[in-house]
Amino acid sequence: MGPLYKRPICVLSGFTVPWLVLVSPSWLSLSGVGPCWAVLWLLPWALEDGWVSGMIAGFFLGILLDAISLGGATYVPALVALGWWWGKLGRRSPLLEGSLNLGLLAWIGSAVVGLSLGAQFLVKEFGESIFWLLHWSFLTLLSQSIVTGLVAPIIASLLLLLWRRKRPIPFLEKTRLRKFARNRKK
C-alpha cells in the first residue's frame, strides 16, 4: 500500500503515544512504571517502513515526548538510534514478526531508552545524590523493560497487522471519505 507516512491513520497513531504516556494505565505497570509506549509504536513502524522513516519517526516522537516531560533528559538520541537499527533489521529480514522476536527487540529498545535517559540524568545531576539516582534509574529501567517486553508481542503485532493490510480500512482512509462525499452531493 505504500509508505506508512503517506497514510494518515498511521501518522495519527503516533499522536496516541504522548496520550498513553500521560494516561499510563495502572493495571499495565510494574512497581508503578508502565511500558515504554514510544518503543511499542516505533518498533513496528521502523520494521515496516525502513530505517530513514524510522529515524525521522523516532526524532519527531522524541520531540513530542520531550514536550510533555519535565526533566532535562531527551528521548531523541535513543529513539533515532532505535529507528535506524530496527529499520535496518526490517529490511534485511522480513520475518521478524514472531512474538518472541518482537518482545526481545522491544525489551532491548526499552533498555536502550532507559539507559540513555539515565546517562543524561547522571551527567546533569553529577554530585552528592549519585547513589539515589543510580538506584532509581536501575529500578525504573528494569521495570519498564520487563513490562514493555511482555506487552510488545500483542501491541506491535496488532500495529503490524493494521499497517500491512492490503485493503483500506473503510472508515479511516481518504479514498472512502472522498467517495462518500461525492455520493452525498448527488
For the chain, the structural domain boundaries read 4-185
**Distance (Å, rounded) from C-alpha 162 to C-alpha 41?**
12
Dihedral angle, C-alpha 77, 72, 67, 57, nearest 10 °: 0
pLDDT of residue 55: 93
Q: CATH code for 4-185?
A: 1.10.1760
128 confidence band (pLDDT: 50, 70, 90): low
Distance CA 147, CA 149 (A): 5
Identify the three-state secondary structure at position 33.
strand
Tell me how far apart the terminal alpha carbons of the chain are, to the nearest angstrom.
Answer: 30
Predicted pLDDT at 73:
85
Mean per-residue pLDDT, 147-155? 92
Kindly report the pTM of this predicted structure: 0.80
